[in-house]
Homo-oligomer: A and B are copies of this chain.
Amino acid sequence: MTDKEALQIHINIGMLVGSVNRAMTKRFVQNAHKMGLDISLDQWMVLGPIWRFEGVSQKDIAEFCMKDKTSVTRIINTLEKKNLVVRVPDQIDHRINRIVLTHQGKQLFQNVLPVIEKTREEVRKGISDEEIETLKKVLTKITQNLEKDNG
C-alpha cells in the first residue's frame, strides 16, 4: 500500500466518524432550538442516566456516557447553572456527589424526547435495521479495540 492510500483509508474512517458526530450534534441542537429548547446533545446525554438512576454519581454518569470525568464535571456545572440538576453530597461517602434532576430538569427532559425521536428518524432515513446493527457492532468493536492497553 502506498503512503497516499494509507492516508486515504485512515482519513476516511476518522473523517467520517468525526463528521457524523458533528452533524448529529448540530442537527439535534437545531431541532431542539426549533422547539424552543436550549440544550446540547452532550448535556442531554448526561441528563439520561440522571433520569434513569436518580442520585447517580458523576463517576457512573461518565461511565454510562462514555465520557471523561472532567467533561462530566463541566457539563454538570452547566446543567446546575441552568437549574436542571443539583449536586447532593452523599451522606455516607463524602467523596461522592449524588446528581438529582430538578423539577425544571424533569420537564425539559420530557420536552426533549420528541426532539430525540425526530433526530433519530432523520439520521436513520433510508438505513435498514440490519445496517444499523452492523454499525453499532463495528463501532462497539472499535471502542473495545481502543480501550485495550496501548500495546
Contact = CB atoms under 8 A, between A and B. Distances in A.
Contacts of A139: 16-17, 19-20, 135
B136 A16 contact: yes
Candidate in A113, A136, A139 with the most chain B CB atoms within 10 angstroms: A139
| Interface magnitude class on chain A | 35 or more
A11 B50 CA distance: 14
A65 B10 CA distance: 12
Given A13-B136, A141-B126, A116 B45 contact: no
A14 B24 contact: yes
Contacts of A30: 150
B6 A135 contact: no
A147 to B, nearest CB: 7
Interface stretch (A72-80, A91-99, A117-125): A117-125
Interface of A: 3-4, 6-7, 9-28, 30-31, 34, 41-42, 45, 48, 51-52, 65-66, 68, 110, 113, 116-117, 119-120, 122-127, 131-132, 134-143, 145-147, 150
26 contacts: A6-B116, A6-B120, A7-B52, A9-B120, A10-B120, A11-B45, A13-B123, A14-B25, A14-B41, A15-B45, A15-B66, A16-B139, A20-B143, A21-B21, A22-B66, A23-B147, A24-B146, A26-B146, A27-B150, A30-B150, A34-B150, A123-B145, A126-B145, A127-B142, A132-B138, A135-B138
